């Protein structure tokens, strides 16, 4: 099997515009033959998103035998508005590759492919699996479709998942999730000169007061904290929106959005129930409620130890979320990828080229450890 150059592959991926709201089939069209030339079986999981746009999650698997390893990346990027240069023209500047998605996460994806591509299928006694999901940045639909429908994934019988999101190649064995409750108050709009209106903002005010008290309690009460995270608190926050109602009109509608970051083993279920209960007690409408858990793999799990050994870095936790939350209930999961999370979603996003080449070595070591 021929080797693939991780830098060139990253550049090729950056050149394909795969902002989340677009049909991302061009990514699959580009990668599928590369996978096939390197001995992978491939499968496309195609679906139509909520806005009616066709999306494709591409998966590839090589070797065979239960207990192998999956590398789960996404192909979509954030919009790239605000760039002063063309986001889809990759530029090498010194030790960096600049381009939209270079770090989050086309570079990391390219590193997994470059690691697995040169290994002959008959050298593998367990499966190596690579996922290229759609819609990660806007709700994980591509990963959910894959988990529900992929025959290749079912057949792979994986034991471990690596999520190559940028962690500067640190092994991340736990991260926070994301939860939110949207509460709406309905009032009656009227000009204050006739004083006949009902302000939705006044209706929602007692609830806001309770949330302000709850915010202080969460900071104070350590039963809401998890010491393995920095910070140990769930980042409880509230925003409100009266849709630009002017000062001489009563608000017809005011929406409060409560958000926090669930941590494994914390009290987020209690919190969610308390918030919803408070809103209902004031006769407010709970317009949506969602909770994505965080994940936690034992720091002593073989995959965590192996990633720590392969990277020569100490396992740690992070406070941002990834699709690892979906994979962790099924596989021992570690988030570990090249590039810094500080670069994700920024204008002028870049990745250090040395991190890309080191990632290829790290993923190669993991495949050798677990699948050969």
Cβ contact 304:171 at 8 Å: yes
174 bridge partner residues: 296, 317
Is residue 104 part of the contact set for Zn ion (CB under 5 A)?
Answer: yes
Using rule CB under 5 A, residue 105 touches Zn ion: yes
Q: Which stretch binds Zn ion (CB under 5 A): 65-73, 100-108, 123-131, 360-368?
A: 100-108
* CA angle, residues 298, 364, 26, in degrees to nearest 5: 100
Q: How far is the CB of 305 from Zn ion (least distance, A)?
A: 25
Distance from C-alpha of 85 to C-alpha of 87, rounded to nearest angstrom: 6
Min separation Cβ 239 and Zn ion, Å: 24
Residues 45, 57: Cα–Cα separation, whole Å: 5
CB closer to Zn ion out of 105 and 179: 105
- Residue 97 or 255 with smaller CB distance to Zn ion: 97
Contact code string over 108-147 relative to Zn ion, x by CB under 5 A: ----------------------------------------
| Total of residues contacting Zn ion (CB under 5 A) | 3
Residue with smaller CB distance to Zn ion, 167 or 199: 167
Residue nearest to Zn ion (CB): 104
Minimum distance from residue 136 beta carbon to Zn ion (Å): 6
Least CB distance from residue 74 to Zn ion, whole Å? Answer: 6
Question: Toward Zn ion, which CB reaches closer, 32 or 165?
Answer: 165
Cβ proximity to Zn ion, 187 vs 324, nearer residue? 324
Site residues for Zn ion, 147-176, by CB under 5 A, read 165
Does 266 sit near Zn ion (CB under 5 A)? no
The greatest distance separating any two alpha carbons of the chain, rounded to the nearest whole angstrom, comes to 82
Contact 334, 307 (CB under 8 A): yes
User: Contact region for Zn ion (CB under 5 A) — 35-43, 103-111, 113-121, 210-218?
Assistant: 103-111
Residue 203 CB, nearest approach to Zn ion (Å)? 39
Q: Are 17 and 126 in contact (CB under 8 A)?
A: no
Two tokens, residue 22: 């677009």
Nearer Cβ to Zn ion (98/119)? 98
Give the number of other CB atoms < 10 A from CB of residue 114: 25
Distance of CA 56 to the CA centre of its chain: 17
Q: Rule CB under 5 A: which of 198-237 touch Zn ion?
A: none
What's the closest the beta carbon of residue 259 comes to Zn ion, in angstroms?
Answer: 19
Number of H helices, E strands in the chain: 10, 16
In the complex, minimum distance from the CB of residue 105 to Zn ion, in angstroms, rounded to a whole number? 4
Buried b (16+ CB within 10 A) or exposed e, 191-222: eeeeeebebbbebbbebbebbeebbeebeeee
* DSSP 3-state of 308: helix
Spatial CA neighbour of 163 closest among 343, 324, 356, 321: 324
Select 60 or 105, whichever has its Cβ closest to Zn ion. Answer: 105
Q: Which stretch binds Zn ion (CB under 5 A): 105-113, 141-149, 240-248, 330-338?
A: 105-113
The reply on whether position 43 binds Zn ion by CB under 5 A is no
For residue 270, give Cα distances in angstroms to 169, 266, 267: 34, 9, 5
Residues that bind Zn ion (CB under 5 A): 104-105, 165
């Amino acid at each position: 099997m021929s080797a693939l150059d991780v830098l060139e592959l990253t550049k090729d991926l950056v050149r394909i515009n795969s902002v989340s709201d677009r049909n991302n089939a061009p990514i699959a069209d580009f990668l599928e033959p590369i996978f096939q030339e390197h001995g992978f079986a491939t499968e496309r999981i195609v679906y139509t998103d909520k806005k009616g746009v066709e999306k494709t999650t591409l998966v590839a698997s090589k070797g065979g035998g239960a207990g192998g390893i999956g590398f789960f990346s996404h192909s979509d990027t954030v919009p790239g508005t605000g760039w002063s240069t063309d986001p889809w023209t990759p530029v090498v500047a010194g030790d960096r590759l600049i381009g939209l998605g270079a770090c989050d996460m086309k570079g990391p994806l390219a590193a997994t492919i470059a690691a697995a591509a040169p290994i002959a299928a008959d050298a593998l006694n367990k499966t190596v699996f690579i996922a290229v999901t759609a819609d990660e940045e806007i709700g994980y639909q591509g990963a959910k479709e894959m988990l529900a429908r992929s025959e290749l994934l079912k057949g792979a019988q994986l034991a471990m998942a690596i999520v190559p999101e940028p962690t500067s190649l640190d092994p991340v064995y736990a991260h926070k999730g994301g939860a939110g409750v949207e509460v709406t108050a309905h009032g009656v709009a009227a000009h204050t000169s006739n004083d006949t209106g009902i302000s939705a903002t006044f209706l929602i005010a007692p609830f806001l007061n309770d949330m302000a008290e709850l915010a202080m309690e969460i900071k104070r009460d350590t039963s809401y904290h998890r010491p393995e995270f920095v910070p140990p608190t769930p980042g409880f926050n509230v925003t409100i929106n009266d849709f630009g109602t002017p000062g001489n009109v009563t608000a017809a509608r005011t929406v409060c959005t409560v958000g926090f970051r669930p941590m494994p083993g914390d009290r987020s279920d209690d919190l969610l129930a308390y918030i919803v209960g408070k809103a209902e007690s004031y006769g407010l409408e709970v317009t949506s409620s969602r909770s994505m858990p965080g994940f936690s793999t034992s720091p002593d799990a073989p995959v965590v130890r192996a990633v720590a050994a392969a990277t020569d870095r100490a396992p740690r936790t992070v406070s941002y979320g990834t699709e690892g939350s979906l994979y962790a209930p099924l596989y021992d999961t570690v988030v570990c990828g090249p590039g810094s999370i500080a670069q994700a979603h920024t204008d002028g996003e870049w990745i250090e080229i040395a991190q890309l080449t080191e990632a290829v070595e790290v993923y190669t070591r993991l495949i050798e450890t677990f699948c050969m």
